[in-house]
């Protein structure tokens, strides 16, 4: 009888634990870093840090991001619960548009609903877990003349002036 009651108790405890809770009224904080110099790289990239705070304290176990129709998983910070990281890259600087980029976020429940949809219209009807924007300032191609070139020209002018003065003194 003792074994049966402990088995039932264990089953009920596991059932209560497995039920879990969903994140209620999530709040998002975004920090982003992106490519700023187009002369040094061929591709544009952005790193987005997403901090999620829930009213009930329950954090989503996994977060998925939809950027321009492509859904990718977010990396979760092991040391800081509620922090997720998203990497965005584009083959050219023009593909990662300058300005605000909207990102739809999905937790496990909303992502499974999204995966079950068969058409684009049904996918648009799925309400995301949250939606955030990150700002990409765009890639700058820098000045027309690089500073190294100006330094070499300046050195050449100083050398030419010194050589000319030396020639006058020796003549």
What is the tens place of the pLDDT at every residue in 82-100? 899 999 888 887 778 788 8
Question: What span, in angstroms and rounded, lies between the C-alpha atoms of 76 and 8?
Answer: 35
The pTM of this model reads 0.67
Q: How far apart are CA 74 and CA 86, in angstroms?
A: 5
Q: Given pLDDT bands bounded at 50, 70 and 90, which one contains residue 8?
A: low
pLDDT for the residue 20: 53
Task: Evaluate whether the domain defined by 17-140 bears CATH number 2.60.40.
Answer: yes
Identify which of 22, 19, 29 has the alpha carbon closest to the alpha carbon of residue 55: 22
Q: Which residues pair with 75 in a beta bridge?
A: 85
Coil, strand, or helix at residue 67? strand
* Opening angle at CA 41, ends 38 and 43, nearest 5: 90
Other beta carbons less than 10 A from residue 8's beta carbon: 10
Q: What is the largest CA-CA distance in the chain?
A: 119
């Amino acid at each position: 009888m003792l074994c049966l009651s402990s088995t039932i108790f264990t089953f009920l405890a596991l059932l209560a634990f497995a039920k879990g809770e969903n994140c209620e009224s999530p709040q998002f904080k975004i920090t982003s870093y992106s490519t700023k110099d187009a002369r040094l790289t061929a591709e544009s990239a952005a790193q987005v840090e997403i901090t999620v705070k829930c009213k009930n304290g329950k954090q989503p176990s996994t977060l998925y991001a939809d950027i321009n129709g492509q859904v990718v998983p977010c990396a979760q910070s092991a040391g800081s619960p509620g922090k997720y990281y998203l990497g965005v890259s584009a083959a050219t600087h023009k593909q990662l548009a300058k300005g605000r980029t909207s990102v739809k976020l999905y937790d496990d429940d909303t992502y499974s609903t999204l995966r079950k949809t068969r058409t684009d219209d049904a996918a648009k009807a799925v309400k995301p877990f949250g939606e955030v924007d990150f700002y990409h300032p765009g890639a700058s191609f820098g000045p027309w003349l690089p500073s190294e070139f100006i330094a070499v020209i300046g050195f050449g002018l100083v050398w030419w002036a010194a050589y000319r003065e030396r020639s006058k003194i020796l003549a």
